[in-house]
A = this chain, B = another copy of it.
Amino acid sequence: MLFYFAPKTVAVASHIALEEVEADYKTRELDFTSSEQHGEAYLAINPKGRVPALVTDGGILTETPAILLYLAQSHPDASLAPLEDSFRLAKVQEFNAFLCATVHVAHAHRVRGERWADDESAIKAMQQKVPQTMRACFQLIAESFFRGPWVMGQSYSIADPYLFTISNWLEGDSVDIREFPSIADHNSRMRERAAVEKILEIHGI
């Protein structure tokens, strides 16, 4: 497999999962400073011009929740999801859908406001609200969704690298992760894993 990524982006989540399942893969780092993700060559890989993208024997996959599910299902021995229980598997996807559609989107209003408005002052107004929306997201996660020690409880799953990736963005979003002790603990616990340590070094985190 060939994994397209850019450092410190949401690609961190899939990158960790690739290591966790001991996948046979190579990587290709995109240069966001020269907008390589919007160049013709990469748009042929992912017409959305976003990372990550995973080139497999069967075709190309994008979107973090889909890549994570694929890695869990194609490497069942790694036990990264409750594959035999459709309800529990859906609970994992529910958590990951919340991360991609609500939490990542809340964060993106600080760094990618031009996606949703052209006006400079509107983009500033969006940025101003990010600490509030990200805090609200993590309050929900800590109070209602996170079970501990891992997201889904006793079993480490594909929800964990995804939460970890986004919880690393809190500092930049002016939210102190220590407001959420269970999430801060989770972040530390993740950093003890060999797969995570390796990926953090590659991404310079």
Given A63-B98, A105-B105; A47-B140 close (CB under 8 Å): yes
| 8 residue pairs A–B, Cβ–Cβ below 8 Å | A66-B90, A66-B97, A67-B90, A70-B87, A73-B90, A109-B116, A117-B128, A122-B122
A140 to B89, CA, bound (A): 29
Total A residues in contact with B, Cβ cutoff 8 Å:
48
Check A203 for interface membership: any CB of B closer than 8 A.
no
Most chain B CB within a 10 A radius of its CB, from A58, A90, A102 = A90
* In the bound complex, CA of A119 to CA of B128 (Å): 10
Interface of A is mostly: helix
Q: Is A87's CB under 8 angstroms from B58's CB? A: yes
Q: Give the number of times this chain occurs in the complex, counting copies.
A: 2
Which one, B66, B104, B140, contacts A94 given CB within 8 A? B66
Q: A35 at the A/B interface (Cβ < 8 Å)?
A: no
Cβ contacts under 8 Å, A69 to chain B: 86, 89-90, 93
User: How far is the CB of A56 from the nearest CB of chain B, in Å?
Assistant: 6
- A-side interface residues toward B, CB under 8 Å? 47-48, 56, 58-59, 61-67, 69-70, 73-74, 86-91, 93-94, 97-98, 100-102, 104-106, 109, 115-119, 121-122, 125-126, 128-129, 133, 140, 143-144
Closest beta carbon of chain B to A18's beta carbon, Å: 14
Known contacts A63-B97, A93-B66, A93-B93; is-contact A87 B56 (Cβ 8 Å): yes
C-alpha gap A47/B117 in the complex (Å): 29
Q: Which 9 A/B pairs are nearest by Cβ-Cβ distance? A: A122-B125, A70-B90, A73-B86, A66-B94, A63-B97, A122-B122, A58-B87, A66-B93, A119-B125
